[in-house]
Structure 1
């Protein structure tokens, strides 16, 4: 095929990619960090519970308005509430204290009062000890706040019902004033607002609308009020802004470094323009292939993908380095180096595609993005360079490359060669210092200020709700309620032991029929055998006592049923905790303020019917498994490379070629151990790419038949551009990207230092 036809074919391919990319619908950028996580194999009820919880809590944001005085906090809450309520384009719902009429609780539960008792009341009646209950009732009746109770005593002589309703609040210590939810602080009071956003918090447009509405409302607050934020909205917005900054910074600096590198090495605009063309073909291929296969591109993929600039341009470096001082056509040069470049592409692309084989959506995208980008750059080189390569460049002074190679000759001929075993021994010692850390939360961490604000808001909300929750199952609704009741003492003990701050159990608000029947039987001591004593002690007339006995008898079968409870306004968010899948029922118990998760797990282990759903823990365990699997895959890749290279280069040279990336990986892990960096999945994934890229360097030096100055120049430029890309990734504020970039920068650096030894050993 003629050079012109090749160039025409490339243009057609690029137009085809542009056409495919233009056909993609919707916003191509995915900001949801959770979408990048591995999917867990869960049963239908567990999956439903996770989805329900995410829908219930994932799009909610929380604001705490701190003021030195209670009045100031109430006023700030009312002002902010009024302002945000107007922002209907940003928020579906804005509220503070529960707007439900407190009397609604009494109206719903009062007809069922003979089957409702607190734990303390139940304990006293089980011991047939009525005296404390009588004394408590008399104390309330003769207090200054007895007007309401004196009217109630004719229907509830021991005033058991008010204590039950007050107990529904559990451990909540929040207060309400003029419709504003309040929490005491060390220096005053805080008003708490709960916002439900319109649209996903991971949508940039929704983020901007909601944040703008909050900022505008905050300007109306009086001086001295501090606004604290918590919720996925603020983390997502911070992550979006950080990723955009890093894409611009890393991509811009990497591109500027490559431009400067090409101009310094070749002193001509032609190599620079061809290098930019290579990058264009690579990036277009990467973007379109990723969009076609996945539908969206994660922001984290784009951050990782900026490193493609430093790798895709390597093919252009090798092409121009091979043409230096040689009077031959571009096609001749390309034909000579094409076998080595093809093998280099295969090794690098396979290393990236190994990422795509992991059950980690984020890494799958990174693997496909970079493999497609490298393939696009290679195709651009193959189709465009024969026509656009231009005249051969004059041979520059290759003195630096020559002197660099001479250093390796002197190193192997001197006693300094013993530095290599010393380095390996140091690496082995460093390996012993490595500590694994597979916590998924390192994927994205908020700023210190946002983390502190969120922690403070959680404290004000009495613990809030953690990611972990309990899932309990049963074959019927009543069996499920009994199971929920059975776990209540264990959770109360965990709160007393300081392992847990709070918990939300649906059975607290919806007792089982068995529990209601038990409480009904216990109250028989009051309304049957003990009614005369109660009436005499409280001064009740005979007519009132007779009416009480009749009310008690009439309520024998007046039980609270789940259908009636969940149809009422009282159920509120508790509806989301009640699940059904076919004939199987399940309920969630939300946990707040977990302080000692291992101790809580050990306590719950004695309850086989209780499942602690810990998505963060499950994914972290999966990441640990993937880390081990990736390191094993690296060992397999090294073995396969050894077998492949032995067929064309012999066992001795093949062993040396594979030893370069293997030693580089060992030295990298050793140095990470000395630096105190934890070993994560992202380190092991980066080592796969160290192998893929490092094998390229070994391959070019091993196939160099004559002087190695040109190969040295090309590999040096390739290593510098790669170090620029991944070295800049190591500066990322996102720990996962930082670990990935740091490992690759160290690994490529060590590979560059070790690879020239192949040329020296081969010639000796």
Structure 2
């Protein structure tokens, strides 16, 4: 802005036609954007995948790929467990549920557990003699043939002994024991088409049913489709049981688990938050604009700029990332509370008695608006530095959305706002006049205020706690999550975030290294402390041994079984000939291509970009899930690391995604804290270029607000983490805007600048206050930080404004040419 002199009625010549051409070009761009959004929302590419929002792994891309592969194996499956006091009652409930759910949702596929078990046995039968447990291999290596022959005879005449195949094909019962070990990885047993789980802790028996949805779990249409169907089926089962005298007294405990249900629940919450935040912010804009300007035109134009900004944000995000995450939309809904500042500032200036024509006014406002845009965009753009894909989407959405809203205000408002003047409502007049009752602090008093804030902040910092643990970002446990945890305990499901990565130069080397890990594990089991529960590893080599191991097993079994059959034949005075088995070993590719590998084939990562093959070994929980305690994981990780260092295990790496991401969050929290300080310095330098010796008045409100915000967070006991620091970066971008607006305007104009600051600030505070209600802890941290910091920035911007009598300095102009009216 040039000076405090009155605005000339006929300003110097400026190419108004050029501005109209810009408005026309922007209209063309908006029409194209509208067409794009029409097509997008008819088939929205909205992701609800929680893994898509996780950060990149600095150490290796394998862990991310492994996590995605593991999730894919169960991405479409839902587990339903009906628990009762005995198997008969549980089975009745499961049978009725199965009938109702298929009628309610025919697209669901029922997976038959017994059919799967039968297929497994049929597939492995040709290689029966190549499959041994470690214990069997150790025993057979030193076994007495005479004793084995007696055991074989006993098995031949024994009644009631369970055998997977006929006696002649497995005279030593080796296969039965091998299958028993395989089934020990889970507590579930196939029975009558269901999975039976006996829970000794609660003395209940569960009948489990596996459902499979037709599409990806992360395709969401805004409704809890699967959970609604399940709840309806459960209700009908209870009605059916209540209608019978026997069933009326059967207490059924239901558990529902699976990625589809969790993804659906999270997405539904996200959509609800998006609607709440977006609609709440929009209503706040309309109400405050109407109260301040007492006209529909400002409401319409400001709403237009917001709509274009949000649409542009969606377009840019999808264009860059191929899709948009639901959390990005939730966060983007708060953009409404920021983008309206441009329009509100324009119309607040139109209320001035000496307001110039709309073109001249826009030229006068442009430097302040442009600086506000730059600081806000920089604040959002900083989010893209952190390698969290979700944050990068939010950065693109918000930065592009703000730029689009800014262009709309600059190009269209002077064209569409054809009224000669605006009516100043009573509320607007009161806000303008309220500034007269707020003192403008001198430099000495400002220093005293800063000293007081510094002392309070320093004292509060003694209570400051820092938390980088990823677990602190998990939403509060819901009923559904509780059921998921209980089902995992019952089924001994492996962890998907802590696992072992095995690498080798060939497929066979990977399998051999898995077998070496299994052998080492047996020794570790003997050494484990008493307070650490037993554990097992779910690995590919348990189902597809290496070719070398198959040959070793086959040579051992073939020789022993021939000798045993020879002795049994002599005892029976019969001729017994050992059946032939597959002459070649079972290969990894044969196994991967077979349907029986479907449940765990995603643990095979295959050939990687560095020329290495890789697989994932999962930690299976045992003994009510105690194997997943932190002490146990740390103990196992140390064992693996020590084995790597002494050379007893090669190509084996312990991966803890929670620890990795927590370390990454700590690294970037420190880095962003440093960047925050640098950002404040750069903003102060930019303000000094524009405002000269008054620059501190535009910067200090935000600096004091940031300091007090951290102090208040410390006092209320909220641990500081990465997302609080990122919110402070946004506060730097938005808080400086308030100080800039107050310094830009001089004399009586300060009252209307204060009006714009208050209205814009209230809407922004309202938007981020709603964000603070989010169930997502990261968004909650954003909202809480800004809910504290923004009001402080507004208050300090008024206190630290230049006194009207001293405000005579001409600031450096951004533009030197005039505009025609």
TM-score of Structure 1 vs Structure 2, range by shorter chain: 0.7 to 0.9
Asked whether the 8 Å contact 2:152–2:564 carries over to 1, the reply is no
Give the drift of 1:480. Answer: 2.9
Q: Does 1:508 align with 2:542?
A: yes
- Out of 425, 449, 457, the position equivalent to 2:479 is 449
d(CA) in 1 for partners of 2:221, 2:801:
55
The 5 A counterparts of 1:158-307 are 159-185=173-199, 186-205=202-221, 210-211=226-227, 213-221=229-237, 222-223=240-241, 224-307=251-334
Partner of 1:732: 774
Q: Which moved more, 1:717-726 or 1:556-565?
A: 556-565
Q: Does 1:599 align with 2:635?
A: yes
Q: Which moved more, 1:682-691 or 1:256-265?
A: 256-265
Q: Which moved more, 1:395-404 or 1:379-388?
A: 395-404
Asked whether the 8 Å contact 1:431–1:673 carries over to 2, the reply is yes
d(CA) in 1 for partners of 2:74, 2:308:
43
Tell me the secondary structure at the aligned position of residue 64 of structure 1. strand
Asked whether the 8 Å contact 1:278–1:380 carries over to 2, the reply is yes
Asked whether the 8 Å contact 2:515–2:541 carries over to 1, the reply is yes
The 5 A counterparts of 1:443-482 are 445=475, 447-482=477-512
Cα 1:386/1:603, change in 2 over 3 Å = same
Q: Does 1:352 align with 2:369?
A: no
Cα 1:605/1:15, change in 2 over 3 Å = same
d(CA) in 2 for partners of 1:274, 1:504:
61
Cα 1:579/1:551, change in 2 over 3 Å = farther
Give the drift of 1:346. Answer: 1.7
Partner of 2:648: none
Tell me the secondary structure at the aligned position of residue 642 of structure 2. coil
Give the drift of 1:706. Answer: 1.9
Tell me the secondary structure at the aligned position of residue 212 of structure 2. strand
Give the drift of 1:544. Answer: 5.8
Q: Deviations over 1:280-302 (max 9, x none)?
A: 44334334444444443322222
Q: Deviations over 1:157-193 (max 9, x none)?
A: 6544432332232343322321210112324211112
Partner of 2:725: 684
Cα 1:628/1:130, change in 2 over 3 Å = farther
Q: Which moved more, 1:510-519 or 1:229-238?
A: 510-519
Partner of 2:419: 390
Tell me the secondary structure at the aligned position of residue 705 of structure 1. coil
- Out of 704, 716, 725, the position equivalent to 2:758 is 716
Give the drift of 1:667. Answer: 1.7
Cα 1:192/1:44, change in 2 over 3 Å = same
Question: Under a length normalisation based on structure 2, what TM-score does the superposition of the two structures give?
Answer: 0.80
Tell me the secondary structure at the aligned position of residue 427 of structure 1. helix
d(CA) in 2 for partners of 1:568, 1:13:
53
- Out of 378, 385, 389, the position equivalent to 1:361 is 389
Asked whether the 8 Å contact 1:128–1:525 carries over to 2, the reply is no
**Unpaired stretches in structure 1, ≥5 consecutive residues:** none
Asked whether the 8 Å contact 2:380–2:399 carries over to 1, the reply is yes
Give the drift of 1:101. Answer: 5.6
Asked whether the 8 Å contact 1:90–1:210 carries over to 2, the reply is no
d(CA) in 1 for partners of 2:587, 2:204:
43
The 5 A counterparts of 1:16-415 are 16-22=32-38, 24=40, 26-40=43-57, 49-84=66-101, 90-91=107-108, 93-100=109-116, 102=118, 105=121, 108-109=124-125, 112-113=128-129, 116-125=131-140, 145-146=160-161, 152=167, 159-185=173-199, 186-205=202-221, 210-211=226-227, 213-221=229-237, 222-223=240-241, 224-328=251-355, 329-387=357-415, 388=417, 390-393=419-422, 398=429, 402-404=433-435, 406-409=437-440
Partner of 2:701: 660
- Out of 726, 730, 741, the position equivalent to 2:783 is 741
Asked whether the 8 Å contact 1:704–1:759 carries over to 2, the reply is no
d(CA) in 2 for partners of 1:195, 1:458:
16
- Out of 741, 761, 779, the position equivalent to 1:700 is 741
d(CA) in 2 for partners of 1:285, 1:170:
54
d(CA) in 2 for partners of 1:579, 1:150:
33
Asked whether the 8 Å contact 2:501–2:652 carries over to 1, the reply is yes
d(CA) in 2 for partners of 1:147, 1:751:
76
Q: Does 1:573 align with 2:607?
A: no
Cα 1:343/1:73, change in 2 over 3 Å = same
Q: Deviations over 1:199-257 (max 9, x none)?
A: 11121249755445434543442544333111121122112221222222222222222
Give the drift of 1:599. Answer: 2.5
Asked whether the 8 Å contact 1:471–1:611 carries over to 2, the reply is yes
Q: In the comparison of the two structures, how many residue pairs are matched?
A: 751
Question: Under a length normalisation based on structure 1, what TM-score does the superposition of the two structures give?
Answer: 0.86
Asked whether the 8 Å contact 2:547–2:586 carries over to 1, the reply is yes
Give the drift of 1:51. Answer: 4.3
Give the drift of 1:198. Answer: 1.0
d(CA) in 1 for partners of 2:767, 2:800:
25
Cα 1:404/1:338, change in 2 over 3 Å = same
d(CA) in 2 for partners of 1:565, 1:240:
36
Q: Deviations over 1:717-741 (max 9, x none)?
A: 2211111111111111221211111
Asked whether the 8 Å contact 1:442–1:736 carries over to 2, the reply is no
d(CA) in 2 for partners of 1:32, 1:149:
41
d(CA) in 2 for partners of 1:711, 1:212:
51
Partner of 2:810: none
d(CA) in 1 for partners of 2:58, 2:369:
41
Q: Which moved more, 1:489-498 or 1:505-514?
A: 489-498
d(CA) in 1 for partners of 2:74, 2:767:
38
**Unpaired stretches in structure 2, ≥5 consecutive residues:** 1-15, 242-250, 622-627, 645-650, 807-821
d(CA) in 2 for partners of 1:149, 1:241:
47
Q: Deviations over 1:135-172 (max 9, x none)?
A: 977886786525969983x7766544432332232343
d(CA) in 2 for partners of 1:479, 1:287:
47
d(CA) in 2 for partners of 1:683, 1:63:
39
d(CA) in 1 for partners of 2:618, 2:520:
14
Cα 1:166/1:761, change in 2 over 3 Å = same
Cα 1:263/1:123, change in 2 over 3 Å = same
Tell me the secondary structure at the aligned position of residue 606 of structure 1. helix
d(CA) in 1 for partners of 2:406, 2:207:
60
Asked whether the 8 Å contact 1:282–1:375 carries over to 2, the reply is yes
Q: Deviations over 1:52-77 (max 9, x none)?
A: 32322222222112223211222333
Partner of 1:424: 454
Cα 1:318/1:58, change in 2 over 3 Å = same
Tell me the secondary structure at the aligned position of residue 745 of structure 2. coil
Tell me the secondary structure at the aligned position of residue 256 of structure 2. strand
Cα 1:761/1:96, change in 2 over 3 Å = farther
